[in-house]
Chain A
């Protein structure tokens, strides 16, 4: 794992578990995933590229 100086302040920034709980609730990520799935359903990638 790489360390970022700014991320050393765990007490302020929260533990990995706390972060995960926050990030997992992000509507933005949910929306992006839904959009990606819809895009790929509408524009499927040809099999020749999925090898």
Chain B
């Protein structure tokens, strides 16, 4: 991805990627985690993303960080998808926000970088009771992504 993004550290044994968002609200630790939820032949990994809270020892994606770096954070998450799918080219990545509005943020991110994402990945979305190839401007409930 050509967009500005954060560098990440990964813990490949368990498929975690961590990075820090930096902005007016300070330095906030973000985690992206891939978990196999459907064995081959489907080979689907669930992508979970959220802020890591050192006090609760838990992640959360319901927080509105407001660190004025949404695009950079999304580009970083997309970068982890690139890295992960380089290591697991046959993997499907399932992505869904914890709420519809969060899922909409994923959609906005995919749309914003569609020129690059569309060339590298096959993206389908679930909407109105059907899985369909991704198109901009549609509010999907979930996404499935695979390298072309």
Contacts and interface: CB of A to CB of B under 8 A. Distances in A.
B144 A49 contact: yes
Interface string B9-39: 1110110101110000001000101010110
A17 B65 CA distance: 27
A4 B59 contact: no
Interface residues of B, number: 42
A32 B46 contact: yes
A28 B59 CA distance: 6
Interface of A is mostly: helix
B42 A50 contact: yes
Interface of A: 1-7, 16, 19-20, 22-29, 32-33, 35-37, 39-40, 43, 45-46, 49-50
